[in-house]
Amino acid sequence: MATKIMIFTVMAMMMAMAVRCLDTNNVFNPCSDAKVKSRDGFTFGFAFSSKESFFDKQIQLSPCDRRLALGGTDARLAVFRPKVDELTYLTINRTDFDPVKAGGYMVAFAGRQYAARSIPTFVADKSNIVTSFTLVLEFEEGTLVDLHWKKFGCKSCAERSAICLNHQDCAMPISKCKAGGGSVDCKISVQLAFSGTDKALEVLNSWYEVEQFRQYSLLGLYQDISGMVMGP
C-alpha cells in the first residue's frame, strides 16, 4: 500500500509539473508586459474606484500609472490569472468588499508599454448594483492591446427580477441583496473571453464561442476562478 501511495504521489507531482510547463508566461505582475500563447496563464487586474479618479487632465490612464492617486482613495484591486483563450467566469468573493465605498466604477487593465485599460464601467451606487459583466481581452501577436466591455441589453432583466439601466445593463436593487437585507447573492462576476492572435499567430476564438453560447444558452461550460479584493 505504501508503494502504491508513493507511486501515486510521484505521478501527481509529474502531472502538476507538466501543467506548469505548458504555461510559458512567467510574468505575474499585471503592471508588466507579457507576450503569451494560447493556454498560457495571463495576469491582469480590475481596479475599483470613482469614475473621475481614473483620469488625469481628462485623459484616462492605466491604474498602474503613478500619476493617478488611487492609492490615496478607497480604491480596491482584484488580480486574476486565467488561461489565455479559455472561457472563464471570474468572481469576486470577499464578503467585506463594498463596490459603492470603493467608488462604484471598475476598470480592467494590464501591461506597461501599451498600458491597456478598459473604459470605466458602472458597478454600483447606493440604489443598484450590476453583478454580471462580459470582458473581451484583445491581443496582437500575443501582446494585450485592448480590453472591451460587451453589453447585451436588457432582455434578461425581467426574468432575473432586475431593472434596466441605460438600456444596456441589468442591475439588482441593493435592497434585494444579502448585504441590504435581501436574499440575493450580489457578488460580482465577469465572463471573460479572448480575441486576436497569440505570439505564434494562432487565432484566439473564445469570443466567438461566447457569442455562440449566449445564442444557445450553453453557459455551463465555463471555468470558474474566484478572487479576493485587495487594498489600493
Tell me the average confidence (pLDDT) per consecutive run of 10 residues in the chain, 232 residues long. 40 42 89 96 96 94 91 86 93 86 96 94 96 95 96 84 90 91 92 95 86 49 53 58
Instruction: Quote the pLDDT of residue 44.
Output: 96
Q: Closest Cα partner for 86 from 229, 231, 224?
A: 224
- The grid cell for 120 is 470605466
Instruction: Quote the pLDDT of residue 1.
Output: 43
Instruction: Quote the pLDDT of residue 134.
Output: 93
Q: Are strands 189-196 and 132-140 parallel, antiparallel or unpaired?
A: parallel
Distance of alpha carbon 146 from alpha carbon 119, whole angstroms: 10
Instruction: Quote the pLDDT of residue 159.
Output: 75
Contacts of 83 (CB under 8 A, 6+ apart): 23, 39, 40, 41, 42, 223
Distance of alpha carbon 230 from alpha carbon 75, whole angstroms: 9
The amino acid at 125: D
Distance, CA of 179 to chain centre: 22
- Residue 55 to residues 103, 169, 220, Cα–Cα distance (Å): 14, 23, 37
Distance of alpha carbon 187 from alpha carbon 130, whole angstroms: 9
pTM (2 decimals)? Answer: 0.83
Please provide residue 24's backbone torsions phi and psi, each rounded to the nearest 5 degrees: -95, 0
